Amino acid sequence: MTESPLALIAEVTHRCPLHCVYCSNPLQMVSSAAELTTEEWENVFQQSAKLGVLHLHLTGGEPLAREDLTRLVKSAHGCGLYTNLITSGIGLSEQRWEELVRAGLDHIQLSFQDSREAAANWIAGTRGHAKKLEVAAIIRHSRVAFTINMVVHRQNVDHLDEMIALAESLQPQRLEIAHTQYYGWAWENVDQLLPTREQVVESLKTIAAAQKRLEGKIRIDAVVPDYYARFPKACMGGWGRRQLLIDPKGTALPCHAAAVIPGLRFENIRDQTIGWIWRESDSFQKFRGESWMPEPCGSCERRTEDFGGCRCQAFMIAGDAAATDPVCSLAPMHSLVEQKLAEVNSRAAAVDDQMPVASPVEQSQFRMYRAQPK
Amino acid sequence: MSDLEDSSQPRLAAGCRWVGEGENRTLVYPEGALRLQETARAILDRCDGQHTFDQIVHELAVAYNASDPSKIRQDAVAFLERLRQKRLVDF
Ligand code: SF4
Ligand code: SF4
């Protein structure tokens, strides 16, 4: 029997006042006119809670761009869902925050692009850094769990210690240090964002030291880039196994990047129930379990831990969604990743020589995410 | 950071709460959830910021008719310390 989903990721909008170069949103964004209505989302929450979902992650884009956000939180809370808001903080006034708390919000995850204002604003393509600091001060005095999310990549990881110090001063309970994951816009910009091996090793040392120093005060969780690991990450805890994502127009996906995989038809919650989509739809069954696995995954003892890695990564790097994730050192296509890493490591060394690490590289080197959905 | 003392008044950390009813009650927190055994639930139910740790141990010893309260105390200390490390309980 198929286990029930535990978490729902609700991408309530693709609209966002920020334009981060590492954004994992799809290149084709959903316009606001096509977004699900308040009632449709409420229905999604009810169905999900009945299926056994515990966590609801409200994300986007920027969820605060939806004027009905407070009502959505209230409905979700009413269904018994544990509600988490993943936000840039832009659009959060003190009054709106109080409304959200009263509506039953359980957790807020506030993202920072850097500790240095100019660099942060540059990465986000918006002057938002100062506003985020204000927002952090508003949040910290409530009984809502507070996580700060620091997104790291080649352009900022060298001053990770400064970023941790900033987070510490904002007094969250939890700090997530997330190495960029290469999907969507981040994948477009991977050559500028992927850190060097040396940077990754250093960052892990910095993180370990901070974890020790802040133990019992701030819990630090780190997401490392699996390009440098021996084995891939267990993407989404396995395809169609723990989590489902619903995009702004109601398409149900096993993960946020799954739409890049050709030949899969993803169902819409306007046409089907979530229970049916989860249990029966082709797209959710396609890479569920082990029957789809190629060798070496099929006979590898790690298959119950990483589920063969990420399907989208396999498609993006190797052109085959059913291949062993090329990030895995045992994958037949692993040389593609090694090649990419070799490129990045040699070029980064050359570029960094002329570039002060604090200032972001020339805009022209990025294929920017500066577009907005209409 | 202070140690757990008899006079400590542990409570669930912000953003950590129960979801579900009875046997199925699950402790849910920012990035995860815990299904707990009955005794663990009994300890956490008393972590309301009012009960002192000493009171919690006494109540448990009575509720479970324990012949050896010091064992309960030991287990409760270990359990609450572990949850504090995960930032699920404050004291
Ligand atoms: S990564 Fe940046 S641009 Fe993308 S949704 Fe988040 S805040 Fe907006
Ligand atoms: S071979 Fe497959 S199952 Fe084994 S570690 Fe690599 S990706 Fe995971």
Closest alpha carbon to A29 in A181, A249, A254: A249
| pLDDT number for residue A78 | 95
| Encoded amino acid at B21, one letter | E
Q: Give the pLDDT score at A82.
A: 95
Mean pLDDT, chain A, rounded, equals 85
pLDDT tens for A219-272 read: 898 887 788 888 888 888 888 888 999 999 999 999 888 888 888 899 999 999
Q: Are B43 and B27 in contact (CB under 8 A)?
A: no
Looking at ligand 1, which atom is closest to the CA of residue A113?
Answer: 2
Taking CA–CA distances from B33, the nearest residue in chain A reads A54
Query: What are the DSSP E strand ranges found in B1-91?
Result: 11-12, 17-19, 26-29, 32-35, 89-90
Q: Which CATH architecture has domain B11-90?
A: Orthogonal Bundle (1.10)
Closest CA to A182 of A147, A114, A232: A232
On whether the CB atoms of residues A158 and A114 are closer than 8 A, the answer is no
Q: What is the pLDDT of residue B2?
A: 62
Block residue for tokens 């009810």: A46
CA pair distance B43, B56, nearest whole angstrom: 7
- Read off the pLDDT of each residue in A17-36 and give the average, rounded to a whole number: 78
The tens place of each residue's pLDDT in chain B, 91 residues long, gives 568 888 889 999 888 998 887 777 889 998 888 888 888 888 999 998 999 999 999 898 888 887 777 888 888 999 999 888 887 898 8
- The minimal CB distance from B85 to the residues A145, A173, A216 is found for A216
Atom of ligand 1 nearest to the CA of A86: 6
Give me the pLDDT at residue A228, please.
83
Q: Is the pLDDT of residue A355 over 70?
A: no
CB A42 within 8 A of CB A81: no
CB B33 within 8 A of CB B26: yes
Domain boundaries, chain B: 11-90
The residue that leads in pLDDT, A361 or A196, is: A196
* Ligand 2 geometric centre to CA of A308 (Å): 5
Sequence-separated (6 or more) residues with CB below 8 Å from residue B84: A216, B4, B90, B91
3-state SS of A263-299 is: CCCCCECCCCCHHHHHHHCHHHHHCCCCCCCCCCHHH
In this structure, the dihedral spanned by the alpha carbons of residues A56, A61, A66 and A71, taken in order and rounded to 10 degrees, is 10
A215 and A259 Cβ atoms separated by less than 8 Å: no
Residue-level pLDDT at A1? 61
| Of A18 and B44, the one with more pLDDT | B44
- The pLDDT of residue A7 is 93
Q: Are A22 and A189 spatial neighbours (Cβ–Cβ below 8 Å)?
A: yes
Ligand 2 centroid to residue A226 C-alpha, Å: 13
Tell me the pLDDT tens digit for each residue of A104-160: 999 999 999 888 887 787 778 777 888 889 999 999 888 899 999 998 988 888 889
Residue A30 confidence (pLDDT) above 90: no
CA gap A330, A133 in Å, rounded: 44
Does B44 lie at the interface with A, CB-CB under 8 angstroms?
no
Establish, for the pair of chains A and B, how many residue pairs have beta carbons separated by less than 8 Å: 55
Query: CB pairs under 8 A, 24+ apart, for A73-76?
Result: A73/A100, A73/A103, A73/A104, A73/A105, A74/A103, A74/A104, A75/A41, A75/A42, A75/A45, A76/A45, A76/A104
Distance in Å, CA A150 to ligand 1 centroid: 12
pTM exceeds 0.80, yes or no: yes
Q: What is the pLDDT of residues A93-120, one digit of tens each?
A: 999 999 999 999 999 999 998 888 877 8
CA distance A144 to chain B (A): 5
How many angstroms separate the CA atoms of A237 and A117, rounded? Answer: 35
Q: Give the per-residue pLDDT at A357.
A: 31
Question: Do residues B76 and B43 make contact, with C-beta atoms less than 8 angstroms apart?
Answer: yes
A203 has a pLDDT exceeding 80: yes
Residues near ligand 2 with C-beta < 6 Å?
A 231-232, 296-297, 300, 302-303, 306, 308-309, 324-325, 328, 330
Tell me: pLDDT of A74 over 80. Answer: yes
Does the pLDDT value for residue A354 go beyond 70? Answer: no
Total Cβ atoms within 10 A of residue A148: 26
Amino acid code (one letter) for A305: E
Of A87-96, A296-305, B60-69, the poorest mean pLDDT is in B60-69
Tell me what percent of the residues of chain A surpass a pLDDT of 70. Answer: 91
**Cα–Cα dist A240/A316, whole Å:** 19
Q: Given a cut of 70, is residue A371 above it in pLDDT?
A: no
Q: For residue B27, give the DSSP letter.
A: E
Q: Which of residues 69-88 of B touch A (CB under 8 A)?
A: 84-87
Residues from chain A that touch B20, judged by Cβ atoms under 8 A, are: 80
